[in-house]
Amino acid sequence: MAKDLPKRSEVRVEDTWKIEDIYANLEAWEKDVEKIVSLGDKIATYNGKLNNAKTLLEVLKLNEEIDYTASRAYSYAARVSDVDTGNAEGQALVMKIRSVFVGISEKSSFVVPEILTLSEKDIEGFMKEEKDLEVYKRMLGEIFRTKAHTLTPEMEKLLASASEVSGAPGNIFSLFNNADLTFPEITDENGEKVRLTHGRYVPFLESSNRQVREDAFKALYSTYAGFKNTLAATYSANVKSHLFKAKARKYGSCLEAATDANNVPKEVYTNLIEAVHNNLPLMHRYVDLRKKILGLDELHMYDLYVPLVKEADAKFSFEEAKKIVYEALAPLGEDYRAVIKEGFENRWIDVYENEGKRSGAYSAGVPGAHPFVLLNHSGTLDSMFTLAHEMGHAMHSYHSYKYQPYVDSEYVIFVAEVASTCNEVLLVKHLLSKTTDKTQRAYLINHFLESFRGTVYRQTMFAEFELKTHEMVERGEALTPDALSKVYYDLNKQYFGDNMVVDKDIEMEWARIPHFYYNFYVYQYATGFSAAVALATKILNEGESAVKNYIKFLSGGCSKSPIDLLRIAGVDMATPAPVNDGLKLFKELLDEMEELVK
């Protein structure tokens, strides 16, 4: 009999997040949704009146209240939906709040264009007249920074009303991937029939039984291949929506529009790809090492996740994982760890996979509440690193909300992966410091090498796929299933080198990556990882002074540009140095690994 996942109703309460920390009940949520609609009606009455300091302050305060309340309401709906995506009630909550967002966006769409009818000198005068406007200084500066890409009030209203349509491809993919898609059963290493799921896929690829790995790999991608036309159309619509918005806002490309939204030069993106291309020989060397250690005549794509040092292949219960992560974060100080402990003990985390639960993992900051962390913990070393990673995100949200006014509390996605990966680096350094055993060290170093492969190399390959496919649409080319698969397959050949058998099945991997719907998000995993390596090294080498600067970074929200925030912590991402330094560490670890397994 196949081992199926538990239903949501069968999961222990202790292993679920405490959703009532946002709203005590659905009635409280409904009340806030009504409030948002009412506030939207109120802000609409200011249309055409932003010509004095008092009115501007009233509108900005009102806009902030709307955003704060809407953020809480959406967070609640998304958390309810994500733990059981097949539940109609959760879907209904998400659809309702999204529709409210569209209405609010339309009613408030006049605000930015009207502010831009004023001069920066006018704004300076208003701030002298109304001191409370000072809190909005950074936000107003950003409005004027992007003035060339802001449209007339009528056009802004039109774009706002189109937002629900432009977000549809991502919503469709999410529902298809998490709620509708069913994978076949495969035979596990114990000879039992087990249903393949998103959460079980990587553990199957880590199996010592190669047939299990191959069966899981082929079953997954053959399932996606069966829907290749639908998924290509969905992804194509997503890219076209990005192009529509980029053109509407007078950007030269989709990439330029996406990076400028976070005040990041587009060259950071292209420089990353170039730096990784220059270091592809290191990846090819790692592929060769993996092939040698596994003793295989051919290394296939389904051989990439199996631990290279089987004797050290360990399992960690969730309680054990929490204890080890807590110990590893000691260099960040007791204040930091006290918040980690609070999260562990007060149900910030939804721990295990259940039927219909969203795949993967994430952390979501919620204004007026604590962060919420979604996991699908499976007891592997990777699951423990995921816990450390997501709690890094949570700590970033916690500090930003605590130390910044709400208007400056949302950190931009360029810095989003720094805190999470810094935790991972500290965890692997902690584990390595605890052992001189060659087998244990090899096992841990391999895990960190895999982090580099999965985060710097793999995410850069993803970023290059996004760039190539967006450029294809910009040239008027069609994103057919065959075209997408060819781009993806060729990139795998380039990144893994001649000693890897790039199985044809992998050409469908583009169809299962949710981040491809996030509009040039993934490159920030690679840049964030590089920054995190530099920061963790500083924290371990310099101690308290480095920790102090790091906490300032975590507490910065979006009060400065992301490049400037990282400079506070001592890392300059405007240069290629952090990426190159990170890859130097990859080389050092590769050197040690080669010595350990001689």
- The packing angle between helices 381-403 and 544-554, to 10°, is 70
The SS3 call for residue 86 is: coil
Cβ atoms 428, 488 nearer than 8 A: no
* φ/ψ of residue 195, rounded to 5: -70, 130
Q: Is 594 tagged catalytic?
A: no
Token output for 501: 């058998």
Cβ atoms 271, 580 nearer than 8 A: no
Q: Can you tell me the distance from the alpha carbon of 409 to that of 399, in angstroms, rounded to the nearest whole number?
A: 9
* φ/ψ of residue 144, rounded to 5: -75, -30
Length of the chain: 598
Residue 558 amino acid letter: C
Environment class of residue 131 by beta-carbon count within 10 Å: exposed (0-12), middle (13-18) or buried (19+)? Answer: exposed
Q: Can you tell me the distance from the alpha carbon of 486 to that of 522, in angstroms, rounded to the nearest whole number?
A: 20
Environment class of residue 536 by beta-carbon count within 10 Å: exposed (0-12), middle (13-18) or buried (19+)? Answer: buried
Cβ atoms 45, 5 nearer than 8 A: no
Cβ atoms 243, 258 nearer than 8 A: no
Q: Can you tell me the distance from the alpha carbon of 587 to that of 257, in angstroms, rounded to the nearest whole number?
A: 34
Looking from the CA of 356 toward its CB, the CA atoms found within 13 Å total 18
Q: Can you tell me the distance from the alpha carbon of 550 to that of 247, in angstroms, rounded to the nearest whole number?
A: 38
Nearest-CA neighbor of 212 among 188, 236, 238, 176?
Answer: 188
Give the C-alpha distances (Å, rounded to integers) separating 555 from 69, 336, 405, 569.
22, 12, 11, 11
Cβ atoms 364, 372 nearer than 8 A: yes
CB within 8 Å of 388: residues ≥ 6 apart: 325, 328, 329, 420, 423, 424, 426, 427
Q: Strand (E) positions, 412-530? A: 500-501
* φ/ψ of residue 3, rounded to 5: -90, 110
Catalytic residue among 214, 390, 464, 509: 390
Separation of first and last alpha carbons in the chain: 43
CB within 8 Å of 52: residues ≥ 6 apart: 126
Cα torsion 44, 49, 52, 57 to 10°: value is 0
Instruction: Say which residue the tokens 């009606």 belong to.
Output: 41
Nearest-CA neighbor of 463 among 205, 288, 285, 264?
Answer: 264
| DSSP assignment string, 40-64 | HHHHHTTTT---SHHHHHHHHHHHH
Catalytic residues: 390
